[in-house]
Amino acid sequence: MYLVIRFHVMMLLVTIAWILFRFIIGIKNQKVSIKREIQLLAVYICIIFICRFVYFPLEHDIYGIAPLVFVKNLMFPPRINLIPFNFLTDVYPGWQINIIGNILMFIPVGIVWPICFKELDNIKKTVLAGFGFTLLIELSQLPFFDRCSDVDDLILNTTGAAIGAVIYFGIQRIKHAYTAKRHLAT
C-alpha cells in the first residue's frame, strides 16, 4: 500500500474538520463566543504551523512542498532515536536550524495554550501539555518511513513550550503586580 499526502490537501481536510467541529460545538452550546473562537483560532494556527514543519520536510519537490509518504512495506522497523542529545554528535547539514527550530516552533504553544485553556493555570501544567502534544506528534510519525521519532525533538519541543510558558506567566505576574500597585496607590 502506497499513500501520498500533500500538504495543501491535509491542511484543507484539517481545516474542514476544524470548522465542522467548531460549528457542531456552537450548535450544541446554542451560542458562539467570538472571543473564544479567536482564542481557539490561535490554537489552530499553532497546530497547523507545527504540522507544516513536522510532517512536511523543508525540501521542495517539483510540485512545491514535498509530500508525506506512507508505504506499508517500509513501516517497520520504525525510525526511532532514543538516545538523548544525539544531535550533539550527529552533525548534519542544517542541524543548528533543527535545534533552534524545534525550540522556537513550540514557544507559541507555551503562550497561546494557557490563554485558551484555563486548566493550564501554571507553568508545570503548560509544560506537561506541551510535552504531551510533542509525544503525540513523535508517535504519529512512526508509520512514515521518511520521518524519525526522536527523543531530542521531545526535549527541544518541550523546552520551547517551557520558554513560552515562562514568558506568558511572567507577563501575567508583572500585570498582576502592576494592577495591585496601581490599586494601592488609589
Residue-wise pLDDT tens digits, 153-183: 999 999 999 999 999 999 999 999 988 888 7
Reported as a single tens digit per residue, the pLDDT across 39-79 is 999 999 999 999 998 998 777 667 688 888 899 888 888 88
Tell me what pLDDT residue 102 has.
94
What's the domain range around 100?
A: 2-184
Residue 185 has pLDDT above 80, yes or no: no
Report the amino acid identity of residue 154. Answer: L
State the DSSP code for 182: H
Residue 32 has pLDDT above 90, yes or no: no
- Count of domains forming the chain: 1
- CA torsion sign for 102, 120, 136, 89 is positive
SS3 content of the chain, % helix, strand, coil (to 5): 65, 10, 25
Rounded to two decimals, the pTM is 0.87
Cell of 146: 521518511
Query: Distances in Å between the alpha carbon of 175 and those of 73, 107, 138, 172?
Result: 55, 20, 36, 5
Q: What Rg do the C-alpha atoms of the chain give, in angstroms?
A: 20
Cell of 180: 495591585
Reported as a single tens digit per residue, the pLDDT across 110-151 is 999 999 999 999 999 999 999 999 999 999 999 998 888 999
